[in-house]
A and B are shown apart, each in its own frame.
Chain A
Amino acid sequence: MNTMPDKDKTTIEQSSDALTVESVFATHADRLRAKRKMRELLDRGAGVTISLGGIGIIATLLLLLIYLVYVVQPLFESAQIQRLTSFQLSPSAASGEPLYLALEEQAELSMRLSSSGRVDFFSLADGAVINSEQISIPAGAQITQFALASEESGLIALGLDTGAVHLFSADYEISFSGPNNARQITPRINYPLGREPVFIAADAMQAIAVAQANDSIVIAAVAGSGELSLVRATRQSSLLALLDPSADTDYQLEFTRSELALVDTDWLLIDGDQRWLLAISAQRMVSATALDAVFSGSAAVQASDRLALQTESIQDARFLLGGLSLLVADANGDIGQWFFSVGEEGLALRRVRNFAGSGTPLTALTVEQRQKNVAAIDERAVLRLFNTTAERTLIKQQLDDIRIRSLALSPRGDRLLTETDSGLLTSWSVSSPHPEISWSALWERVWYEDYAEPDYIWQSSSAGNAFEPKYSLTPLTFGTLKAAFYAMLLAAPLAVCGAIFTGYFMAPPMRRKVKPLVELMEALPTVVLGFLAGLWLAPFVETNLLGIFALIVLLPVSIIAMSAAWVFLPRSIRHSIPDGWEAAILVPVIILSGMFALWIAPPLEMLWFGGDMQAWLSNEFGLAYDQRNAMIVGFAMGFAVIPTIFSIAEDAVFTVPRQLSNGSLALGATPWQTLAKVVLPMASPGIFSALMIGMGRAVGETMIVLMATGNTPIMDINIFEGMRTLAANIAVEVPESEVGSSHYRILFLSALVLFAFTFVVNTVAELVRQRLRTRYRLL
């Protein structure tokens, strides 16, 4: 019993001990718990951060593709047209039929010329007339003729039945005034030859034409009798005019009356260069006369022709922007584009393309001032807006239920103004971001103005608005493939054969030395290769062309010769070098045969080609020789892709399971038979993917082609001529192209094409390789 208290005591002691330990544990556990919580939080936070970061980075890489598509996509957006406002002009202004409608640069004001000779300027927002002016027409006289020099000049000629011609244009003066510096546009009529009309004929005329270029204005008129009269007004460059360009300048008039009788002339037109005078009749007859000849008195109709392909009678004829192409509309509503080009039967007007109508005649036809766009409206008020170069119909839409009799496009091409028979004017907003781009403009032959035939042409630099941009990607794609082809011609055999030898035959010690060398080769910056190709190799090859060919012939011969000679060498020498060192033995052989080829070439060139192989090639085969040509690119880019192909192909050959080849060898096959029948069939998918990846690299390479070719976008398979590739084209032109322009977007499109091509090629290659790896693993 005595022990009880002791026991109790100890229990108490123990429990008190336990208490203290527990309390210690408790605080410790709290701390641990807190720490665990922290760790848990940290772990979760890190997980979230890493996941977000990882997904973000992968998304950024995806952004590359999305952004390219985002920039390119507007190229293929269809055009949109939207009704803005409709209004009637005040009764006094709305009098008479409209002869001409036009919009000013900012598309705030519009001008309407009525058949009575009254000009009204009105706001496009509400139709409020701002300014009016009457062209002074003598009592009893009638306006019988109207002619426009071009939409961009805005120079109008009005012919009266008295034989007089009034010449004027609308001018818009922009000033900034008021507290907010608001823009104020003041319209006025400008008479370049003075307010007095020019009397060009004795009485009413059949047709008149006017043209303006630099300092001269030409007016032509066909009198009722068919007699042709011309007036040339040349600006006098007086000191006064130089000092103050706004001052009235004097024009000197020169009258010419020609013997030509142009009967039945319905439209008289002068082209943009003032070289041709075209008289067109509704019966599809065209006669062309050289303008200079008329002035010098030796007038003759030089080309007379029927607009043979236009089936119905002519309804309208006018020049497209630039004054080179003639647009002829017939009663079907078909619009033909014609221009002079040299063909088999000499210089002739030729129909280049046709825009089919709906079978009803047109009521109005107009052309845009900055782009080769044409707008036409037919009897059923269907508007057609199309681009000639791209042969692309941008808009085809019925605008109204009533007939629309007149039409105007703003200079920027973003506004359209129509007038119905009832005199209701409507303004429309037009958006056609990149009208000159279409599938055919990018990839097919296009018949450009001033060219003899349709062709693939890349010429993006523009001299002015009237320049027809030539955006054919075909020559660039051709150049890309040509460069890649010649590069692969060198790289594929060298890399694949080298890989086979290294992966299967080569002695391991040598392999350990060759592999880093190939890796070093892969790391060589392409700018260095391009520089060597352009500045060292190109002149070298030019002077040693035959030597290079001799080298190409001699190398295989010398290799075979060496291998045959090896058999006959004394056994002691052969055995002193172990198997798998053949490549090392061949190095001096190849160097010597190369030197021999270069040494023997000049005398041979003297003997066979009279000392100049380039001249011989050009005389015998008509092959042109550029110093920086496809052969140089082939060498340099071949050099660049050899290591890419080599590494992957060598990997494929080397990793073929050894038991397969050992089995074959054990059955008595020679090493070469084993390679050809066992190893290569196994490794061929890997070699194929190596070639694909090499090809992808050759297609996208920029610096080498930039430096080793002349960068001319020509389409010629000739190995001695250069090319321009998509990648080099981007590098050359992107820095200068205007952001958001068609040119800019097309360059992005070519980047997208490159991206897509290499991505697809690489993916296919990668999938092939992965399947191969699985197959090896199974074995």
Chain B
Amino acid sequence: MSKKLRKWLRAGSPWVWFNAGAVAISIIMVAGLIGLLAFHGLRHFWPTDVMQARYQPPGLPATEVIGELIESETVLAERLQDSGVDVDPAKNFYQRDLWKFGNREITGTDFGWLLTDYISEKKFPDALTVLERQQWGNFYGIPIALLERGETLANSRAQAENDSLLWAELQFRLDRAYELREEISSLQGQELGRVNSELERLRLLERALVIADEMSPTLKQEINENRATLESRLLVIQLRLNRLKAEISRDSVLMRAVNNREVQIALEDIVRAYQPNQLGLPGKFAVYFSRLWEFLSAEPREANTEGGVFPAIFGTVVMVLLMSIIVTPFGVIAAIYLREYAKQGLVTRLIRIAVNNLAGVPSIVYGVFGLGFFIYFIGGEIDQLFYAEALPAPTFGTPGLLWASLTLALLTVPVVIVATEEGLTRIPRSIREGSLALGATKFETIWRVVLPMASPAMMTGLILAIARAAGEVAPLMLVGVVKLAPSLPVNGIYPYVHLDQQFMHLGFHIYDVGFQSPNVEAARPLVFATALLLVIVIAVLNLTAAALRNRLRENYQALDV
């Protein structure tokens, strides 16, 4: 036995296993992190059952609680005592549950800890309904009547504890409210926005004419006429909006919440209504995917803590696309120059090292450069030259989409250069020489022979650049992202692509909602979901790059013969 152990020691097995342990720990950390993100991010959309229970801590009157159980934990009695809860001195540990109560206007807080010992009479009534609202978070309660313009509808008072007729009518009226809301938002977002932007352009035109001293009475009259037309159009839209708003505020539902309190909720506020306790698995999945779809396709609500992240996805994609358009040609040209045109020697070697190291320079440095050079220096000059009429309000002299893309292009151009160069290096000399021997010029050789062969390498570089750009947040905080952009950077309003506008970004959304929002507890699940989304996007991009690289290597292995 001891012989075995001695052999084990002499062979250095403990050290080998130690090293193996490091790998195992790394694997567990990555897998655990992805798992954690996936668990919390995907769980958020699942319609949990809503519990109703009686809560009576010793020495306090009993209350009714309704809500979703989020998590449970064991806590030291002492810690509870520190936070002012009466505890039994004989007990060291307590079990406590985190509940989501919703009904913020009644309970004051969304979340609360309850000691498991004092919860009794747990039940899951079928009629318990979850109303997701535009404001004030979720509402939990039982619908008891429908109201139209403040009047209780005849026959709508709930006959039974769980009135399916009432539920059907509520669904019907909710559908009407959804449709009206769509109409209002399209009216507000597009038509109103278009007229307003035309008015603004007219104002700037007028100022530009005044500045250039070219204003004549006829021009002024023309502008004024145009303005009058636009303003009358504005008025028409406003009237239509008012009518729609009156329509949408017609219905409301009377709900019974905890402790038999009755609350009236306007249907226009309701985003989604469902009764999780009586939903079967298919029904729950329907709600799940509807919420997932909302997350991906809708605008954020409630200071970004609810609703979707569509503007952030869109902003990220537009910014990354713009960056790719800038970075690809420049990176490829620089690589071709370095590999095919520049005289190879000490200088190119130094440049190569420098370019390689620029990829390791902290991204915040690029952000500072973008802010100082692009925004304040170049942007300020552009404003002076071309947008003088809008001053002192800056047009390009302020963070925006163009500058963010340029900064990230600068940040990622070393990646593209390095990857493309690697591809160019791997192309055998014989192929170039063959092309030249057949009479092709150098450029023709590069354009027709070398570049097509190197294209997978360029793609790899581009994809790596995109993956880096999509996950980068620090420089963007200085050069263009905002927590809430009023409109998308690409939309139906002239000039359609708003390079000067600020935009939303998935990564910044995580930082902002997770750390700057007033209600972190409520926002956390959404941040998990956003983080998961970002990780998935970046993982897919990276795997694509890896696959491309492998294909490239196989191609050249064939050529090497």
Contact = CB atoms under 8 A, between A and B. Distances in A.
A762 B355 CA distance: 11
Nearest to A500: B19
Contacts of A521: 26, 29-30
Contact of A700 (B76, B331, B356, B361): B361
Contact of A523 (B371, B447, B539): B539
B535 interface: yes
Interface stretch (B244-252, B299-307, B472-480): B472-480
- A: interface residue count bin: 35 or more
Contacts of A55: 337
Interface in A505-532: 505-506, 514, 516-521, 523-532
B135 to A, nearest CB: 24
Contacts of B36: 532, 536
Contacts of B13: 563, 566-567, 672
A68 B368 contact: yes
A766 B353 contact: yes
A493 to B, nearest CB: 7
Given A68-B369, A642-B26, A739-B376, A582 B16 contact: yes
A734 B368 contact: yes
A586 B24 contact: yes
A68 to B, nearest CB: 7
Nearest to A588: B24
B328 to A, nearest CB: 12
Given A494-B26, A532-B531, A731-B477, A57 B360 contact: no
A526 B363 CA distance: 11
Interface string A752-779: 0011001100110011001000000000
Contact of B442 (A47, A61, A582, A731): A47
Consensus secondary structure, chain B interface: helix
Contacts of B557: none
A54 B10 CA distance: 57
A611 interface: yes
B467 interface: yes
B386 interface: no
A384 B363 CA distance: 43
A398 interface: no
Interface stretch (B104-112, B277-285, B491-499, B508-516): B508-516
Interface string B334-356: 10111011100000000101111
A597 interface: no
Interface string B533-561: 01100110111001000000000000000
B92 interface: yes
Given A590-B28, A703-B511, A567 B413 contact: no
Given A43-B442, A525-B472, A527-B507, A532 B21 contact: no
B443 A47 contact: yes
A731 to B, nearest CB: 6
Ranked nearest first, the 7 interchain pairs of A and B with the lowest CB-CB distance are A54-B337, A700-B362, A672-B12, A525-B471, A563-B17, A497-B22, A501-B19
Interface residues of B, number: 105
B515 A534 contact: yes
A530 B477 CA distance: 15
B469 to A, nearest CB: 10
A356 interface: no
A755 B365 contact: yes
Interface in A549-572: 555-556, 559-560, 562-564, 566-568
B362 A583 contact: no
A347 interface: no
A50 interface: yes
Contacts of A672: 11-13, 15-16
B507 A47 contact: no
Interface in A724-738: 727, 730-731, 734-735
Interface stretch (A183-191, A230-238, A338-346, A691-699): A691-699
B444 interface: yes
B525 to A, nearest CB: 11
A707 interface: yes
Interface string B304-343: 0000000000000000000000000011011011101110
Given A61-B414, A519-B546, A50 B534 contact: no
Interface in A626-673: 639, 642, 646, 670-673
